[in-house]
Amino acid sequence: MFVRPFRYERAGTVADACEMLRSYGDEGRLLAGGQSLLPMVNAGLLECRAVIDISRLEGLSEITDIDPDGFLHVGALATHAQLARDETLQRHQPLAAEAARHIGNSRVRNRGTLGGSLAHADPAAELPLVMTALGAVVSVTDGRSLRTIPAEELPLSFLSTQLAPDEVVTGVRIPALGAGWGWSFVELSRRTGDFAVAAVAVLLRTGDGAVVEARVGVGAVGERPVRLGALEVALSGAGRKDLPGRVRTLEGINPPSDSNATAEYRRLVLPVLLRRALDEAYARSEAA
């Protein structure tokens, strides 16, 4: 595949990047880690007149400790490898760190970024799913003003978000895992590092031998990650032995068929993954 010529621009600031996006319109694309953009360009799935490199912007790769409101702040340019090994994240939000370890291979993890993954909005990607389950908040800017978007609301459909054409993701506020919470991330793929056939992210808080609160998200089974609100309600008051029986018909889940798996296969394996993740999260909550 021959790639059409494009301009390479390097932004000095976030405001510069936003201004370049306005200048090039739909023909300008941001480059952070390049793990989604470049394969699509090389495969002829995407054409652009300019690539705007933001990978060297300062101040967008830090992971800060918990703020007074109980949130961790993670910069958009933090790499997947950085998320996986960061001690603060492992201690205060291990679900996010664990999900990052499932991404691709070492090359992808060392180049790919949190902001890039969220902006790309692949429904099979690990980080959009986890941020949805966690109730994280995404910070974006057009260089003139800032706004925040709940991570659950950022993706609109397959590879589509509510980001404006000139907006850049700058960071994410992630709630720290409080006392008594357990967590689990379970993913099925054909081979290690492949796109997920189905993935599950679970947070449970238990008390007196029963579920008090639950957050459950699934990925790779629709056009965007999905919170299973009905299941979360059904889990309330459940003991560990009750968990498998609470996973019944999954309303609103209409998985696609693609080169990785059929829709029917996804419908079969998703409840299995959910039961595994719920059991693991329950055990961690009880041990917390």
Model confidence pLDDT, tens digit, residues 258-273: 999 999 999 999 999 9
Residue ranges, CATH 3.30.465.10, the chain:
63-175
pLDDT per position as a tens digit, 157-166: 999 999 999 9
pLDDT tier, 2 (very low <50, low <70, confident <90, very high otherwise): low
Is the Cα dihedral 75, 79, 83, 85 positive or negative? negative
Please state, in angstroms and rounded to a whole number, the distance separating the CA atoms of residues 100 and 78: 11
Q: What's residue 40's pLDDT?
A: 87
Tell me the whole-structure pTM to 2 decimals. Answer: 0.95
| CATH architecture designation of domain 181-287 | 2-Layer Sandwich (3.30)
Count Cα neighbours of 49 within 13 Å in the Cβ-side half-sphere: 9
Please state, in angstroms and rounded to a whole number, the distance separating the CA atoms of residues 189 and 195: 6
Residue ranges, CATH 3.30.390.50, the chain:
181-287
Q: How far is CA 18 from the centre of its chain?
A: 23
Q: What's residue 21's pLDDT?
A: 97
Which of 15-29, 38-52, 99-113, 128-142 is least confident? 38-52
Q: What's residue 187's pLDDT?
A: 97
Q: What is the mean pLDDT of residues 169-190?
A: 96
Residue 139 has pLDDT above 70, yes or no: yes
185 DSSP assignment: E
Which residues in the chain belong to E strands, given as ranges? Answer: 7-10, 28-31, 50-53, 63-64, 71-75, 137-141, 146-150, 155-157, 160-161, 168-175, 181-189, 196-207, 210-219, 226-227
Average pLDDT, the chain: 95
Are 131 and 118 a contacting pair, CB within 8 Å? yes
Please state, in angstroms and rounded to a whole number, the distance separating the CA atoms of residues 181 and 275: 17
Q: What's residue 277's pLDDT?
A: 98
Please state, in angstroms and rounded to a whole number, the distance separating the CA atoms of residues 127 and 241: 30
Q: What is the mean pLDDT of residues 31-40?
A: 90
Residue 154 has pLDDT above 70, yes or no: yes
Are 150 and 227 a contacting pair, CB within 8 Å? no
Distances 80 to 38, 102, 189 between C-alpha atoms, Å = 17, 9, 18
Q: What's residue 171's pLDDT?
A: 98
The rounded percent of the chain whose pLDDT value lies above 90 is 87
Q: Rounded to the nearest 5°, which phi and psi values hold at 189?
A: -140, 160
Give the tokens for residue 153: 């609301």
pLDDT tier, 156 (very low <50, low <70, confident <90, very high otherwise): very high
pLDDT tier, 1 (very low <50, low <70, confident <90, very high otherwise): low
Q: Which residues pair with 12 in a beta bridge?
A: none
Q: Rounded to the nearest 5°, which phi and psi values hold at 256?
A: -85, 165
Q: What is the mean pLDDT of residues 136-158?
A: 97
Q: What is the mean pLDDT of residues 35-61?
A: 90
pLDDT tier, 276 (very low <50, low <70, confident <90, very high otherwise): very high
Rounded-to-10 torsion of CA 176, 33, 110, 91: 0
Residue 39 has pLDDT above 90, yes or no: no
CATH top class, domain 63-175? alpha beta
Q: Is 3.30.43.10 the CATH number for 7-53?
A: yes
pLDDT per position as a tens digit, 104-115: 999 999 999 999
Q: What's residue 250's pLDDT?
A: 80
pLDDT tier, 251 (very low <50, low <70, confident <90, very high otherwise): confident
Please state, in angstroms and rounded to a whole number, the distance separating the CA atoms of residues 101 and 95: 10
